[in-house]
Amino acid sequence: MSKIDIYLETLKTLTDWVPFLLQESNLPGPRGNLELAHAAARAGSREQFETFLSVPLEQAPTNDPHEFLIFCGVLGLGKLAAEGDHLQIARLRSYASDPRWRVREGVATALQLIGDADLPLLLREMSFWSAGNWLEKRAAAAALAEPRLLKQAENVREALRIIDGITLSIAEAGNRSSDEFKTLRQALGYCWSVLVAALPGDGKTMLEKWLVSEDKDIRWVMRENLKKNRLQKTDPAWVADWQTKLTR
């Protein structure tokens, strides 16, 4: 029995989940209790998710146990959307720009739940998000950079098209000093490697266009992706060759 299954059994015995979620959140700390959050999202109701999300920002700052309630609520929105309530996708988009990094991570995870149920839907929505602000672009890239979603070539090609457009927006950016821009750049530092490893032929061809860029931020993104083991295992010689070129 997995940790998620154990938590599911525990939650079934509780009338009010909030004290247990707060106690077992692992916050403050470097890693929230992801297994418990997934259990809460899987077993929770719309009413419970609304209760979690009703906690105001000032009562749920970063790394506070109450932030974990927001995280669980965001995952719950993903579950509802995956079950067919697509109006929740717009709500998730609003949380993509939340000032708390853990909540933003929750959005990416919630989007992946939608992808598990309907990947074409997720791809369509992320195409729209990729034209949004820096943090919405970041959520789109992070949501699609998940190996379990990237099993069919046509879906990977569409994901590559989306992340290519996001990368172009970085290359065309003027003011790059904001934390939001830097957050997106950080995410792109690994997302490309996931997509290229999922479809090396198409992915490497698309990536090479950016590997020859002179833009300092694009070059940083490319160097970071070339460091990733998943990409090095895909084509060691290709990676080594481009690493050499990027150091010149």
User: Structural domain boundaries of the chain?
Assistant: 1-117, 152-248
Cβ 164 vs Cβ 126: under 8 Å: no
| Long-range pairs for 177-180: beta carbons < 8 A, 24 or more residues apart | 178/134, 180/97, 180/133, 180/134, 180/135, 180/138
pLDDT tens string 89-135 = 999 999 999 999 999 999 999 999 999 999 999 999 999 999 999 99
Confidence label for 247 from pLDDT (cuts 50, 70 and 90): confident
Average pLDDT, the chain: 97
pLDDT tens string 192-237 = 999 999 999 999 999 999 999 999 999 999 999 999 999 999 999 9
Predicted local confidence at residue 248, as pLDDT:
78
Respond yes or no on whether the N-terminal peptide bond of residue 28 is cis (omega within 30° of 0).
yes
Does position 25 have pLDDT exceeding 90, yes or no? Answer: yes
- Using a 10 angstrom Cβ sphere, with 0-12 exposed, 13-18 middle and 19 or more buried, the burial of residue 164 is middle
What is the per-residue burial (b if ≥16 Cβ within 10 Å, else e) of 168-191? eebeeeeeeeeeebebbbebbbbb
Residue 40: alpha-carbon gap to chain centroid: 19
Please give the average per-residue pLDDT across 51-79, as a whole number. Answer: 98
Predicted local confidence at residue 54, as pLDDT:
98
pLDDT tens string 139-191 = 999 999 999 999 999 999 999 999 999 999 999 999 999 999 999 999 999 99
Predicted local confidence at residue 76, as pLDDT:
98
